[in-house]
Amino acid sequence: MSMAPSQLGAFAKSDPGQSRANVEFHVQPLSLGAFGEPLHDFDAFTASVCNLRPTSRGSIHAQGPAGPPEAATPVIAANYLRTEADIQVAADSIRLVRRITAAPALQRYQPQEWLPGPASQTAAQLRAAAGKIGTTIFHPVGTCAMGKDADSGAVVDARLRVFGLEGLRIADASIMPLITSGNTNSPTIMIAERAADMMREDAGRG
């Protein structure tokens, strides 16, 4: 209970044509069918591969009955794997994991693929498999993106001030115009530290 599930991380290219690493590995010494389900009763590891620069875009909107805004319910549409580019990265990542597990250093363990399974071989099968086994690692960003003005679709300016509202700033991952190429926790801490500096400066205490 005191140990994070991911014991290994790595950055890689999903295919040689990428100019730099575009996927991140989160490797866990366990296996399960889905979040919340019991662990499988066999020795296993899970290689979760994340697209670091996805092109699919989700949305969040307030929706509810007529009444005060606080009564509205947030409606979240993740829209994962909605672009051809993202589907291709996911399929290529399955191939990459297979190449790694076929390496001589791992053959003493005789790894056998559980999901998507060795029957998925063609491009179409891998693309379909990516949609079935794909999930989230909970790093949403960009719902209050930074930009030059509200007309551009931005919510905050370069000093994290919300357009149209005096005295309100946002200092979390939602202000990122694009997701960072890695985990979002450390960048979010940096955003918060910078926001604190800005507020001190604006208050004349910088």
Which residues are part of the catalytic machinery?
139
Inter-helix orientation angle 123-133/84-101, to 10°: 100
As a whole number of angstroms, the distance between CA 117 and CA 13 comes to: 22
State the SS3 of the chain: CCCCCCCEEEEECCCCCCCCCCEEEEEECCCECCCCCCECCCCCCEEEEEECCCCCCCEEEEECCCCCHHHCEEEEECCCCCCHHHHHHHHHHHHHHHHHHCCHHHHHHCCCCCCCCCCCCCHHHHHHHHHHHCCCCCCCCCCCCECCCHHHCCCECCCCEECCCCCCECCCHHHCCCCCCCCCHHHHHHHHHHHHHHHHHHCCCC
